[in-house]
Structure 1
Amino acid sequence: MVISVLIFDFDGLLMDTETTLFECWRYEWRQHGLELDPARFFADHGGDVTEQRYAELARAVGPGYDRAASHARRIAYREELHATLGPAPGISEWFAEAAGLGLRLAVASSSPTHWVHGHLTRAGLLSRFEVVACGDEVTGHKPDPAVYLLALRRLGIAPEAAVAFEDTPHGVAAARAAGLRCVAVPNPYAARDRFGAADMVLRSAATTTLTRLLGELAAPSPAAGRR
């Protein structure tokens, strides 16, 4: 079946909010003279682990930890980082090419609706998407395929007609569980050797055109390239 729809993850794929997330938490740890270990920071699922992160920081700081002040300071710093955050490299070019090819676009994210819509609106991207499916609309988070299945239902298509784009191994697992082909563009904190389930792994969306990418996915020979 010919691919007619592109379904994108949001965080770390369309916009590098994974880096702003880590940086705002590292900033807050450093306010207390502490260092945050990136190897232990990111969860292997798409659920919200904010409270666990505050609990870990509270244990590290001790009895004097002020959670309310910590939260306010961290959020203010992250908003500063988001003020100039745009689409990830190559994404704007993919969107322009997709429009020329007549491809439909969708988002399937584990993040809540207000978060995804807010960032897409600020970046001037929301109107490009026919469907936006978010984590607060389903009961399971990636690697559970629920949000991808929701996107497919709203699009009214079979999974064979679409390809997903993900930046994490658990995102790839969710897409594959929904029956989708999946192209991985690993975020800076995801080990590339964990993306064996992806049909293709790219260093960046800027490394290839959509026409070439879709041609390779449609080829009868294995297209699981690494670029």
Structure 2
Amino acid sequence: MQTDAIVFDFDGLLMDTETTLLECWRYEWRQHGLELDPATFFADHGGDVTAEHYRRLAAAVGPGFDRDASHARRLAYRETLHTGLGLRDGIDAWLAQAASAGLRCAVASSSAEEWVTGMLARVDRLDAFAVLAFGNEVRSPKPAPDVYRLALERLGLEPARAVAVEDTPHGVAAAQAAGLACIAVPNPFADPARFASADLVLGSAADLTLRAALAAVGATAVGTV
């Protein structure tokens, strides 16, 4: 099949914001002499689960918990973690290869617009994406296909003309429910064994050129990748 666009997830895929998210919450738990259990931290769906994280922390701390102070401290710490954060390995090369091949790049994220555009602007890659679609624009987060359908609508493409790239099992499920082939590049906290349904699983985008990755899922692009 000929491919005209690559649709990327954002968090954990383009940038390792999953690690900074976990670490800022771990830091905040430790301010209260507590340890966060990372095994129960990440949800099996997209969208904002901040309220649930605070509910758990407040229950662990007890009546003296000050949510406003906690929130300000946690965000300040995460900001320090983001200071040197760049794109995940191989992603910059894929973006360059896509441009060389005449492929349009898009983002389909369950996160909100301000977060995604702000982070991409920090690494000067916002202009690499022709189309952006966000969780705050659709009814249901991943694994629902809503945000992928929105991205395809904005691209003006049928699902068969685009390939998704995801880092979580629920992201793969969302892309495939929207009819896209999906390459998985699991984030550091996702169990690789849960990606059996993906069309291709890579340890890193640096493992293959974009052309080779597309070929592995039966996709071709006009131009040289």
On whether the aligned pair clears a TM of 0.5, the verdict is yes
| Alignment pair present for 1:14 and 2:11 | no
Q: How many pairs align?
A: 219
- TM value normalised by structure 1: 0.95
Distance (Å, rounded) in 2 between the aligned partners of 1:216 and 1:116: 29
Deviations 1:171-226 (A, max 9, x none): 0000000000000000111111111110000001111101111112117xxxxxxx
Gaps spanning 5+ residues in structure 2: where?
A: 220-225
Tell me by how many angstroms 1:25 deviates: 0.1
The aligned residue for residue 130 of structure 1 is 130
**Range 14-23 or range 207-216, more displaced:** 207-216
Give the Cα–Cα distance (whole angstroms) in 1 for the partners of residues 165 and 190 of structure 2. Answer: 14
Question: What's the % identity of the aligned pairs?
Answer: 65
- Cα-to-partner distance string for 1:117-137 (whole Å, 9 max, x where unaligned): 101111101101000000011
- SS for the counterpart of 2:78 is helix
- CA deviation after TM superposition for structure 1 residue 99, in Å: 1.2
Task: Report what 1:166 is aligned to.
Answer: 166
The residue correspondences of 1:190-205 to structure 2 (distance < 5 A) are 190-205=190-205
Per the TM alignment, residue 44 of structure 1 is displaced from its structure 2 partner at its CA by 0.5
Structure number with the bigger relative contact order (C-alpha 8 A, sep ≥ 6) is: 2
Q: Could you tell me which residue of structure 1 aligns to residue 181 of structure 2?
A: 181
Correspondence for 1:97: 97
Residues 91 and 206, structure 2, Cα contact 8 Å, conserved in 1: yes
TM-score in terms of structure 2 length: 0.96
Which 4+ residue blocks in structure 1 deviate beyond 2 angstroms?
A: none
2:105 alignment partner, SS class: strand
RMSD value over aligned CA atoms?
A: 0.8
Cα distance in 1 for residues equivalent to 2:217 and 2:95: 18
Residue 224 of structure 1 is matched in structure 2 by: none
Secondary structure of 2:115's partner?
helix
Q: Secondary structure at the match of 1:48?
A: coil
CA distance in 1, matches of 2:11, 2:108: 10
The aligned runs of 1:32-51 (5 Å cut-off) are 32-51=32-51
Q: Is the 8 A contact 2:182 2:200 kept in 1?
A: yes
Alignment partner of 2:217: what SS?
helix
User: 2 CA distance for matches of 1:187 and 1:21?
Assistant: 13
Aligned residue for 2:223?
none
